[in-house]
Structure 1
Amino acid sequence: MAPRSFWKGYLKLSLVTCAVSMTPATGESGKIRFHTLNRATHNRVESRYVDAVSGKAVDEDDIARGYPRGEDDYVLLEDDELDAVALDSTRTIDIETFVPADSIAWIWHDKPHYLAPDDEVGEEAFSVIRAAMEATKTVGIARVVLYRRERAVMLEPRGKGIVLWTLHYGDEVRPSDDYFSAIPKEKPERDELALVKKLIAARKQDFDPERLQDPVEERLHEMIAARSKGRKRRKAAEPKAEPAGDNVVNIMDALRRSLETEKKPATRKR
């Protein structure tokens, strides 16, 4: 059963408009969540805002957002002022431009959402916009208010629907040159490159989402089930020793041994 949409509005291209609904494409509703309790009474613990200087509790009505402009000096802004900054695009996804689908690098992608028509009247307009983007290998760029902020978004055709990606702001993506420029430009040895290619070929498979399991989540389920049955707390496992990074290794020997290991199916773990 598909989750309920968390946003409803309109998709607009020039004079063409259709009603749409949006749902996050990812979620963590299945993850284990813990409550914070009083160990002695098992009652839940409440969190409250406290004045950092006086130590007194602060009422919810007295809580404000402040931008620091100096030591102990803030500009106070109310929620309605913050909401008013980007009201124009609150409920309309107005496609401003189209760009080649491969021109936006993955690093700009933030959160994916599924976009679908919200009524029968708008299905034709939605389908035409989606099909046209697919045929021209383009994605749409628009702006919309999500999560209390106006966000630039990318609309990507996917199957019979559209995936709407929120995009990172320009100041959020760090230039890769700041981190990679110091790496020396050395050509790999031909023999070493050939062996690594063989290693890649030996491990190459189709992508399987079943491999993306959270082992910690599985262990938590096992632990909770065991404690629910009254079993005693197990002693924490000793952390595995990290491989030493200062050992001098002959890379050709290491690659050859790696390839020999790949030829033994029993030694491979899924």
Structure 2
Amino acid sequence: MSRVIWRGAISFGLVNVPVQLQTATRPERTSFNLIDKETADPVGYKQINKRTGKEVKRENIVRGFEYEKGHYVLLADEEIRAASPESTQTVDIVAFVEAYSVSFLYLDTPYYLVPERQGKKAYALLREALAQTSKIGIANVVLHNKQHLAALIPAGPVLALNTLRWGGEVLSIEEDALPPVDAKKAGVSAREIDMAKKLIEDMTAPWNPAEYRDTFREEILALVDKKVREGKTREVSEAASAPAKVRETADVLDLSELLKRSLGRGKGKGKHAAA
């Protein structure tokens, strides 16, 4: 089941759509903890001075930003907190762009946006308007005390919020290492292209994620299950995590009136950079 992260609103123009932000994925990573073989106790990570090899007390540890190799600026916690974005419960749309114009390279983590009861009409309006115009919304949002750029994407009956990588996070590629865009200059013949297209057609199938399996994870889980049934287990205690706090929803004003007022002031807003 999806987990509610926060309740807030999608904001575009003067319109607010009250929504819940929910998790859309559940990573199935095959992770392992470090355990003492003799005692079955968890093995932690000491904070060690890399030059002297000695353990450093927590009160003597500060944060440093490496501005060039081997050179750091030390930052106090209060200085970092002052620079941190203000936590809000708003998906603030700053522009609408053609859906095809955002490369898959920029997509990061997906979430669901689910309407609150009083926001279903405005939610449906935004979802259908995006779908019919083949547009997606580009928005600012703060998640887990970190500012993100995000895409608001209609995905069938739901609006998805997919965090985006910033421009500087997507690496450029040396074009000299790639074949020319022109197929002839790349040495590819028309006959070869036709055969490749035929092969692609022959291998085309409906997308069904259930057909694809993580065989490594399945084999590890089968091995774990076998050891459990054979009684080859050791008990390790772990601390429970605190439940996440949930905030209240935003209010919605008259939808038609807000749309009319927004149309008169919306031009040029999409060019504003993120704060």
Equivalent position of 2:108 in the other structure = 110
Give deviations 1:97-151, integer Å, cap 9, x for gaps.
111122212122111111122x322333322222222222211111112244311
2:182 maps to 1:183: no
Correspondent of 2:46 among 41, 45, 48:
48
Cα–Cα, structure 1 residues 161 and 109, in superposed 2: closer, same or farther, change >3 Å?
Answer: same
2:211 maps to 1:214: no
- Bigger RCO of structures 1 and 2 (CA < 8 A, at least 6 apart): 2
What SS class does the counterpart of residue 87 from structure 1 fall into? coil
Q: Distance in 2 between matches of 1:85 and 1:216?
A: 42
Equivalent position of 1:14 in the other structure = 13
RMSD between superposed Cα atoms in Å:
2.7
Is the contact between residue 105 and residue 170 of structure 2 (CA under 8 Å) also seen in structure 1?
Answer: yes
* Equivalent position amino acid for 1:156 in 2: I
Give deviations 1:221-243, integer Å, cap 9, x for gaps.
122223334499xxxxxxxxxxx
* Equivalent position amino acid for 2:129 in 1: A
2:200 maps to 1:197: no
Structure 1: any 5+ residue segments left out of the alignment?
233-270
Is the contact between residue 3 and residue 23 of structure 2 (CA under 8 Å) also seen in structure 1?
Answer: no
Cα–Cα, structure 1 residues 134 and 223, in superposed 2: closer, same or farther, change >3 Å?
Answer: same
Give deviations 1:180-236, integer Å, cap 9, x for gaps.
65425324234433433333333222122122210101110122223334499xxxx
Q: Distance in 2 between matches of 1:195 and 1:149?
A: 48
Equivalent position of 1:163 in the other structure = 160
What SS class does the counterpart of residue 111 from structure 2 fall into? strand
Equivalent position of 2:266 in the other structure = none
Is the contact between residue 89 and residue 143 of structure 1 (CA under 8 Å) also seen in structure 2?
Answer: no
Q: Distance in 1 between matches of 2:217 and 2:166?
A: 32
Is the contact between residue 107 and residue 162 of structure 2 (CA under 8 Å) also seen in structure 1?
Answer: yes
What SS class does the counterpart of residue 123 from structure 1 fall into? helix
Q: Number of aligned pairs?
A: 228
Q: Distance in 2 between matches of 1:191 and 1:70?
A: 53
2:124 maps to 1:127: yes
Structure 2: any 5+ residue segments left out of the alignment?
233-275
Cα–Cα, structure 1 residues 9 and 49, in superposed 2: closer, same or farther, change >3 Å?
Answer: farther
2:75 maps to 1:77: yes
Percent pairwise identity? 30
Q: TM-score, normalised by structure 1?
A: 0.73
Cα–Cα, structure 1 residues 209 and 190, in superposed 2: closer, same or farther, change >3 Å?
Answer: same
Give deviations 1:67-105, integer Å, cap 9, x for gaps.
124576422224443344353563222111111122212
2:102 maps to 1:100: no
Equivalent position of 1:239 in the other structure = none
* Equivalent position amino acid for 1:138 in 2: K
